[in-house]
Structure 1
Amino acid sequence: MLNYDEVEEAFWVSLEELLGSAVERIWELPYGTMIVPQWLVHPRVPLWGATAVILSELLVLYEGWLSQRATPSASTPTDQH
């Protein structure tokens, strides 16, 4: 349930839609420069910050899972009758 005291709006975006659609944003910080991901998934507010960093890590895992699904493993037993 959406708590409107904390969140104004919620919406769905598929992982497939997010794959490869991040743009890099450069942050100049007192201790150095950071290149961070950002997704333009909303007309007014990009998906950025800690949420984007966590999401980028999730997408790395998701891409690995997709590639494992697409390529049969050598250790997968085969049916030999």
Structure 2
Amino acid sequence: MLSKKKARSSVPRRGRRPRVNVAFKVRVFTNEGDQWVEERCWRCGRVLSRHHMVLSTPVKEEITCPSCKAINRVEKEE
């Protein structure tokens, strides 16, 4: 005997929460004396943002990586 499928209720399905990790920071120094910080994706290592060593007003923001679609927590300036 075949079982009937239930009508879908309005309750959202319980699934895995998307993993949100902090993007890792890499300090970059050039031979000309320039320096900055790159924030890279925690999964694939792609550069998400570049900024100077010290942010005057840092704001935490969540960015989706364009290549691997991972969610990264990044510090940005206002």
TM-score by length of 1: 0.32
Q: Higher RCO, 1 or 2 (CA under 8 Å, sep at least 6)?
A: 2
TM-score by length of 2: 0.33
Structure whose alpha-carbon radius of gyration is higher: 2
**Structure richer in strand, relative to its length:** 2
